[in-house]
Amino acid sequence: MPQTFAFDEIGRLPMPGDNAAIAIRRLEAGTLIRWQDTSFALDHTVLEGHRFAVRAISEGQALLSWELPFGVALAPIAPGAYVCNHGVLEALRIRQLDFALPEEPNFADQVHSYHLDEPSFHPGQQLPLHEQPGTFMGYDRGSRGVGTRNHIALIGTSSRTASFVRLLAERFRGKSGDTFDGVVALGHTEGGTATTPNNQELLLRTLAGWMVHSNVGAVLAVDYGTEAVTNRLLQDYLTAHHYPLDQVLHRFLSLSGGLQAQLAEAERIVGEWLDPVSRARRTHKPLAHLKIALQCGGSDAFSGVSANPLIGWVAGEVVRHGGAANLAETDELIGAESYVLEKVRDLETARRFLHMVERFQERAAWHGTSAEGNPSGGNKYRGLYNIVLKSIGAARKRDPRVRLDYAIDYGAPMEEPGYCFMDSPGNDLESIAGQVASGCNLIYFTTGNGSITNFPFVPTIKVVTTTRRFELLSRDMDFNAGAYLEGTPMEDLGRQLFELTLEVISGTRSVGEGAGHSQVSIWRNWPQRDASQLEHLKAAAEPEGIPLLLNADTPIPPASFSAIQAGTSHATDQLGLILPTSLCAGQVARLAAERLNAKGLGRQQGISRFAALVHTEGCGVSGSHAEHLYDRTLIGYLTHPLVKVALLLEHGCEKTHNDYFRTHLEELGVDPGQFGWASVQLDGGIEKSLEKVEEFFERTLGGQLALQCEQVGLDYLSLGLLSAGPLADPAAAALARLTRWVVGAGGTVVMPANAGLLQSPVYLEAALGSNQPETSLAHGQSFENPGFYIMDTPTDHWVETLTGLGATGVELMLTHAGEHPMQGHPLVPLVQVSGTEPVLRAYRGDLDLALEGEPEGWSQQLLQLLLEVASRRQSPKALAQGNIDFQITRGLLGISM
């Protein structure tokens, strides 16, 4: 017998005039629902958060939520019909469901263009200030504001020093106290290219805002001085834009020597700050100094019903106390412009907001996409079918009583109190980085799925949309907004959240701070400046994966190494891999690898170590080309010859979730059953997912025998060959000879197209002769046969290049460092050599081989070094020191959404 429910038991209408309701629990097909003076049965199973019609909707009629249109009916829709579009059906079909879906969608997305009626515009009034504004206990920073925390920040000015500041922060792990919240690293992905990025202004503004942030007691900025974005550029920007740098302890450090010596110098600088920073004390300060970031991530259908209106209510209270609130995520307000501008200070602010929306849409169009690609698979799974529904819900972070006061660029300082909008992408972490740079000293983060993200030096209060999800993730969340769905008045919840806010900004640690992990990502560079290259890039064919011809045969010296028998082949090593499917799962994957390595799991079975490939992708990026690069890269690592056993760890709400990868693996003929699968959100939080990861590897490795080794020749060697910076002819000739030896013996050499070697006439003549150096592998494409390949490189970003090269299946990498030693790879060992005199003088201790003496012997020295590393008798210094990084490219058409 079908179950029967009163509507209030199982559904919610955001506003009375809506014709589609939200299910607050899973409802089976045939369920009978009593609504007003009628009743109807559901025609299909409706998941929690998904919608069903409560009124008859005729063909061509708008579907309404919050009394705003989010689609148009393709056919008559009867009460009780499951409401679905093409996007949600596509998203659900790759999930492992136990019920049938409709064959066809019954509504189509429709984004209405908004037109500002300027002649009818009337300025809105802001909420009145409280007669007696409140206070909190904060750190007085003078003109920098008042801090809610007291940190020392270590900033990698560009991506090239990201791993350096992380290593430096590790030296201060655990050093915190009652008045000092610790040393934190801010490593990011930007500014490390040789060419000036399109986001340079934005990047400098973000770094400047971080340096003078009220939660920072002292700050160290680190560069090499040769990147596109350097300390000198940052200093000039700070001065030109009148940032109060003189009011914070600070140093700019340019690396010019060995890694350990430079870490020791940086440790000395930071160590001298510990005492003065720790002497800061909290005092009573007006709440007018509170600046809150309003953010949502892992949103669901209830975000706009419970959690977003709740933080909007509290934001109103902050404004009434003279403080400021910051609404962001430009593309997640498209379709909700009428609500955002329902109450605004003046016409200029409305125009500025709409200009930012139009600019975002134009930039997306340059890259062949639109904001309609924003909702993730996790959003759709939890009922946000399209960008309009997501935007309508996201906009509820502005309470209807609160006026929009002004609009600012990404990371621009919030110089006035009130409620502002900041231009940013919908990508949570990239948006938060800008809000922090603008001065926000507290983050409200609403989540339907249960996002676990935290920023390093600003506390985050996580507000969950439903009680069921809060209970599942209670150890990782701060506040349950789901109580509103169960009858608690919004004002009561608002007062409770406001009290929690006062506690947190006065020093009580948020749940996320207690978890001890955080993430940083700045609005990533967008490759295109206009649409002029779009059609060419979309039409470009990928290489066929055929090896290139090399110069005539050359005598090959006898050579062998000790390889591990791996299935039907051999490998230079065997590792365990934890692969996060998105940026938000990255830090949990890192924690998992650290725990497994500390336990020594798998050592008796020949597993040398566990690696986590932490990156910033998989969530807020749009464009099919970028997603194809992403898929191919990660699957290349899952099937990499160095990987003995692997597990995919999803956050749970990303575009590229576990079911997404299961489907792709099956399409490629790869058995998903050979991998482990874990979910931070669906498994019950950080600790539960870590337990599941550990249990999988213990079970999988428990019954396996120790690996066997065998001497093999160069035909089993696969090498990624790079060079960075100046390259002298003798070194180029030695690397050309090495290339011919490996390939001539039946092995493989893959070279990225941006390698300096391909600009060396000596290398080209010696290695290829009259053959043309054409791109023969796509970025991250696995090679199928031995030989010599040139891999496509969309950017000159060093870490992106390494990441793509590793995905091809090479088991070792070798680079000539002509400027300074570079970051290594967390999975594939990178050997670094140099024959450049300035590098030998300054960085000899970080090189694996100095090319000195008679150049005729260099090729043999290089070969012998590779054989030692391949036999696991020597570990490259970058890997041993932990100077490693990993980052997936977005190609030339990927942008943040």
Q: pLDDT digits over 457-511, tens only?
A: 999 999 999 999 999 999 999 999 999 999 999 999 999 999 999 999 999 999 9
The pLDDT of residue 623 is above 70: no
Cβ atoms of 438 and 287 within 8 Å: the answer is: no
| Phi/psi of residue 205, nearest 5 degrees | -65, -40
**pLDDT higher for 564 or 655?**
564
* 462: helix, strand or coil: strand
**C-alpha–C-alpha distance, residues 662 and 652, integer Å:** 14
Closest CA to 331 of 353, 357, 351: 357
Instruction: For residues 607-633, give the mean pLDDT.
Output: 89
Cβ atoms of 802 and 813 within 8 Å: the answer is: yes
Closest CA to 374 of 420, 430, 326: 430
| 539-549 per-position pLDDT tens digit | 999 999 999 99
pLDDT score, position 703: 77
Residue 96: pLDDT band (50, 70, 90) is confident
Instruction: For residues 727-755, give the mean pLDDT.
Output: 97
DSSP 77: B
DSSP 375: S
DSSP 573-617: --EEEEEESSGGGHHHHHHHHHHHHHHTTTGGGT---EEE---S-
Count other Cβ atoms within 10 Å, centred on residue 285. 20
pLDDT score, position 622: 65
| 791-838 per-position pLDDT tens digit | 999 999 999 999 999 999 999 999 999 999 999 999 999 999 999 999
- Counting residues of the chain whose pLDDT is more than 70, the rounded percentage is 100
pLDDT score, position 620: 65
pLDDT score, position 621: 60
pLDDT score, position 619: 81
| 12-56 per-position pLDDT tens digit | 999 999 999 999 999 999 999 999 999 999 999 999 999 999 999
pTM (2 d.p.): 0.96
Closest CA to 763 of 449, 529, 551: 551
CA angle 748, 750, 756 (to 5 degrees): 140
Instruction: For residues 590-603, give the mean pLDDT.
Output: 96
The mean pLDDT value of the chain amounts to 95
CA-to-CA separations, 566 to 698, 710, 860, in angstroms, rounded? 19, 11, 28
CA angle 807, 672, 47 (to 5 degrees): 115
| 414-454 per-position pLDDT tens digit | 999 999 999 999 999 999 999 999 999 999 999 999 999 99
What single letter denotes the amino acid at residue 51? R
Cβ atoms of 742 and 714 within 8 Å: the answer is: yes
DSSP 720-779: EEEEES---HHHHHHHHHHHHHHHHTT-EEEEETT-GGGG-HHHHHHHTTTS-----B-T
What single letter denotes the amino acid at residue 562? S
The pLDDT of residue 743 is above 90: yes
Instruction: For residues 513-517, give the mean pLDDT.
Output: 89
The pLDDT of residue 112 is above 90: no
**C-alpha–C-alpha distance, residues 564 and 574, integer Å:** 8
| Phi/psi of residue 176, nearest 5 degrees | -150, 170
| 874-883 per-position pLDDT tens digit | 999 999 999 9
Cβ atoms of 255 and 156 within 8 Å: the answer is: no
Who contacts 207 (Cβ-Cβ below 8 Å, separation ≥6)? 155, 157, 221, 229, 234, 237, 437
Closest CA to 456 of 393, 394, 522, 395: 522
* 276: helix, strand or coil: helix
Cβ atoms of 895 and 526 within 8 Å: the answer is: yes
CA-to-CA separations, 172 to 168, 244, 302, 619, in angstroms, rounded? 7, 27, 41, 31
Count other Cβ atoms within 10 Å, centred on residue 345. 19
**C-alpha–C-alpha distance, residues 239 and 235, integer Å:** 6
pLDDT score, position 499: 98
- In the numeric block, the tokens 């012998």 are attached to 864
